[in-house]
Amino acid sequence: MLIRLFSCASWLIAGCALLLNYKWLSRRPLIFRSFTGLEVPEFDSLYLRMEALYPKYEVERLSRKDRKRKIGAGRPFKLPLKGRLLMFLIHYRLYISSTLTGFLFDLDQSNVLKNIRILEPLVKECIPIPKKLYERAKRARTVEEVEEYFPGFKAFIDATEQEIPRPKDKRKRRSHYSGKRKRHTVKTQLTVNSKGLIIHKTPHARGRRHDYDVFKTNHPRVPPEVNCNLDRGYDGVENDYPELNPTTPYKRRRGMGELTMEQKSFNHELAKERVVVEHTISRMKKFRIMGEEFRNRLRWYDRATDIVSGLVNLRIMGTTM
């Protein structure tokens, strides 16, 4: 009986390892997109860029000062680069445990996390993360260059929160508790253009902080021709930052009565335009590493949001970025 159970387990592991590979998944485009968050041509384009940079990246990684072994020492990777990229994207898209990921790819749990951490800097190098786009947008001088990054000369700003495990430290529990979400969270502010492209992203902030407080600390510097659209949470931005050409919805004030029909109509039209930033946040949260409780250490959080933002931008820009 035990022999039969062990043989069944071995068959399952071998079958799963055979199942989750590029050749099998690429023949099933819908499953491929569901598992990785990318279309097959988008994956291929990303892989070709990584493959071109990989030799130089590996030499630099293995030549770092704190490394004690010479280049060539140590065990080689069990999976090829394409298999590791596939595993990397499945981890970000489905956010399954490293134990289950290792089972599906026939790897040890520690090797799964090691492979993911090693690939993260290279993936960031090969995708349009917000930092790259923001640096280019800041250098825009002509009207045509500005409109390339801000079609219609509009930018949309909003913040999103993600739940984190309850901190052990009492002070961190207070600082990260979001009264709005009734959970311990971290907050990230995004600036997107009218196509949903993420142009700017702030480092994560404590969930207790107000959206406008995060904005004051780290707001994007957009060209003066660009109109920044914000929600009611940024009330007062017109007086504090007129140089940003901001637009916020009308807000009912105490003692001033109801909003007029014109004001309500303006708010409605602004909300219709601002839906693009809500859709972008939704695209990010489809990568479940951003949509579920963030189980990793917070020092890796900004790297994760950079990569997810870059993958969302990659899908919007297409394979010709």
pLDDT of 50: 96
pLDDT of 73: 62
pLDDT in tens, 299-317: 999 999 999 999 999 999 8
Q: Does residue 217 register a pLDDT over 70?
A: yes
Write down the mean pLDDT value for the chain. Answer: 88
Among 4-18, 47-61, 81-95, top mean pLDDT goes to: 81-95
pLDDT > 90 in the chain, percent: 64
Q: Which two tokens stand for residue 295?
A: 């189980």
Question: What DSSP string describes 22-74?
Answer: HHHHHT-HHHHHHHHSS-HHHHHHHHHHHHHHHHHHHHHHHT-TT--SPTT-S
Report field, pTM of the whole predicted structure over 0.85: yes
pLDDT of 172: 87
Residue 5 pLDDT class (50, 70, 90 cuts): very low
Say if CB 46 and CB 127 are below 8 A apart.
yes
Residue 119 pLDDT class (50, 70, 90 cuts): very high
pLDDT of 110: 85
Look up residue 195 and give its DSSP letter.
Answer: T
User: What are residue 256's DSSP bridge partners?
Assistant: none
pLDDT of 283: 96
pLDDT of 69: 66
Q: Which domains does the chain have, with CATH numbers?
A: 2-126 (no CATH), 130-317 (3.30.420)
What is the distance, to the nearest Å, from the Cα of residue 198 to the centroid of all Cα atoms in its chain? 10
pLDDT in tens, 64-79: 777 666 666 667 788 9
Section 186-202 average pLDDT: 95
pLDDT of 244: 87
Residue 286 pLDDT class (50, 70, 90 cuts): very high
pLDDT in tens, 175-188: 999 988 899 999 99
Q: Does residue 58 register a pLDDT over 70?
A: yes
Residues whose CB falls within 8 Å of the CB of residue 263, separated by 6 or more in sequence, listed in order: 250
pLDDT > 70 in the chain, percent: 90
Section 145-162 average pLDDT: 94
Q: Does residue 3 register a pLDDT over 50?
A: no
Q: Does residue 7 register a pLDDT over 60?
A: no
The count of C-alpha atoms lying within 13 angstroms of the C-alpha of 143, restricted to the half-sphere facing its C-beta, is 1
pLDDT of 1: 45
Surface-to-core class of residue 49, CB atoms within 10 Å of its CB (0-12 exposed, 13-18 middle, 19+ buried): middle
